[in-house]
Every structure is written in C-alpha cells, then in structure tokens.
Amino acid sequence: MQQHDMDADKRVLVLGAGQLGDAVLDALLPAVTQRNGDVSVIVSPASCDKHGKLQSATHQKHADAGATFIGADLAACSTEQLSRIFKPFDTVINCMGFVAGAGTQLKITRAVLHARVRRYFPWQFGVNYDEVGKGSGQPVWDEQYDVRTLLRAQSTTEWVIISTGIFTSFLFEPAFDVVNLSANTINALGGWDTQVTVTSPADIGRLTSAIYLHQPRIVNDVIFVAGETTSYRQLASTIEHVTQRRFTKNVFTLPALLEALRLRPDDQMLRYRAAFARGDGMWWPMRDTYNAQNAIQTQDIASWLTASI
C-alpha cells in the first residue's frame, strides 16, 4: 500500500487557477514538490500572451514555484481530447467551477474516467448534493448530483469529494443580496433560523492539500470541511458586532423567492437564493468536519470580515 501511496503523489494536474485553484496551489505545490512529485495546471489558452508568457502575476508565482502551465479550453475540448490531456496524470484536482458552462463538469468527469486516472477530486467544493438531490431549481446542482452518480457507478478511479459550503466571500457578494455592507442590509434566506456553512478559499486550499496527503489514504468518500456553520440570526449578530453598525434586516421566505423565480426563471442569483432558503444540504455541524476532527484551525466569519474591511 505504501508504494501505491508514494506513486500516486508523483503527477498531479490541477484544473483552473482562479480563486480556488490559486489557494489549492499555494498549499499543494510545496507539499508535492517536497515529495519529488510535480504539479501541472490547466488554464485558458488566453492566459498566455503571443510569446507564451503567462499574463497573470498569480500564475507566474506558481510557475516560479515549479508548476507547469498547460493552455486548454476545457469547455471546447471533446471528452476524447480531455482524456488524452489527463492520461499522464495520477491525480486530477478540479478547481474549474461553473464558469465553463453547463455540462462541462460531467464531460470532465467522463474524460477522467476514460483516461483511467487513479484519483479524482471533482469540482464539488460546495453544498451537500446528496442531500439536495435533484430538482433544487439549480440546474448546475443537478449536474453535480449526476457527477456523484457517475463516480459511484465505477471502481477504476478513486474519488474524494470535499464539501465546503459556500465561499465565505459569497455571503458578502452584493449581487447575492444576503449581506450588503455598502447598503447596510442583511437578508435571511428562508428564515432567521435557517443555517449555512461557509469556508474561505484559503482554508479550502489548505484543507484540500491536507486531505490529498492524508494517511491512510482517503478513498471514495465525501469529506466535510467548514470555516463556520451559522444561522442567519447569528450571522446578523456577528456582522453588527464586527462592524459596530446597525443593519436593516429582512427575510426572503422560500415561497416569496419561488414566486419571484417563476417570474424571472433565468435570474442566476435568484436561483441561488431560492436553493439556499431551503436549508437542507446547505450546512453541517462543525464537529463532523475534517478540520475539527484533525484540530486544524479555520477562519470563522468574524475573523474573515475583520481581515476584509
């Protein structure tokens, strides 16, 4: 088994180097390099100028630390083309997000399985799709459920799913309209007692690297992590305490959100609000998390906010 473990650390491919990919690479690159492995990263072909130089300082930072960059348009590639790209790698860690468009996550997963990659961390850095199931009103979430079904139906590729809740920063995204710091408003989704789990991208990066390296090796499992699990009532109290300001507070009930969605079915943020207002699958107790069980400190909402304002 030990031999298998060492071999699997040799060649890692990270898909995407955006907010999450950047955080994963920060933690993963030094750990893999130390073990004489190597890390490659797929980014969009537009990430390089016409001389092949990386345009982003963040990308260049990882290249300087030893990462190899590969330009490929994952949305445009066929399953076969992706499979050829993935084939040389032992582990694929997917940090692509939903930006690549509908159907891309299933296509990437099929390509990973077709390439017989030994170990796969799919883009599942979000809510508990097993509990959400299908029909949440979020088509991308239905696809996430299908990815899990596909992985569980095979036994060639080991998989590890990391459930993170939402990125802490997303709670403060004005377009999401839960906490709007400039408008001084806090809107609870569903009700004040509805709960939500959040984790900062930096913590997700550190924890993903730790879970990847964990011995004995984690195989075919859903692992939960969290910076904090909170109710919207507690969230409002935390924000008023940290900012020392009073906020206008309101509740977006599920029936009201579903009615709004009926009138504006293509409103992406409205879809998210309606899905989170359901509550189910959006949160888990801190005691059930990998970080709590392994005594790894994570950033709660108060400390994230203090650092951000």
| 272-296 tens-digit pLDDT | 999 999 999 999 999 999 999 999 9
The Cα angle at residue 55 between residues 49 and 56, in degrees rounded to 5:
160
Range of the structural domain that residue 74 is part of: 2-168+198-228+281-298
Contact present, 120 and 109 (Cβ < 8 Å): yes
Asked whether residue 100 is assigned to any structural domain, the reply reads yes
| pLDDT > 70 in the chain, percent | 97
C-alpha torsion angle, residues 43, 48, 52, 56 (rounded to 10) = -100
Asked whether residue 134 is assigned to any structural domain, the reply reads yes
**Does 3 have pLDDT greater than 70?**
no
Burial 237-247 (b: 16+ CB within 10 A, else e): ebbeebeeeeb
Asked whether residue 18 is assigned to any structural domain, the reply reads yes
Expressed in percent and rounded to 5, the helix, strand and coil fractions of the chain are 45, 20, 40
pTM for the predicted model, two decimal places: 0.94
Going by pLDDT thresholds of 50, 70 and 90, the confidence category of residue 9 is low
Asked whether residue 178 is assigned to any structural domain, the reply reads no
Q: What is the pLDDT of residue 136?
A: 76
Asked whether residue 175 is assigned to any structural domain, the reply reads no
CATH number, position 145: 3.40.50.720
Q: What is the pLDDT of residue 139?
A: 79
Asked whether residue 97 is assigned to any structural domain, the reply reads yes
Going by pLDDT thresholds of 50, 70 and 90, the confidence category of residue 2 is very low
Closest CA to 168 of 140, 144, 202: 202
Asked whether residue 236 is assigned to any structural domain, the reply reads no
The number of folded domains in the chain is 1
Please state, in angstroms and rounded to a whole number, the distance separating the CA atoms of residues 230 and 265. 29
Asked whether residue 234 is assigned to any structural domain, the reply reads no
Q: What is the mean pLDDT of residues 66-90?
A: 96
Contact present, 58 and 86 (Cβ < 8 Å): no
Q: What is the mean pLDDT of residues 82-104?
A: 91
Please state, in angstroms and rounded to a whole number, the distance separating the CA atoms of residues 166 and 126. 6
- The structure tokens listed for 244 are 């020392």
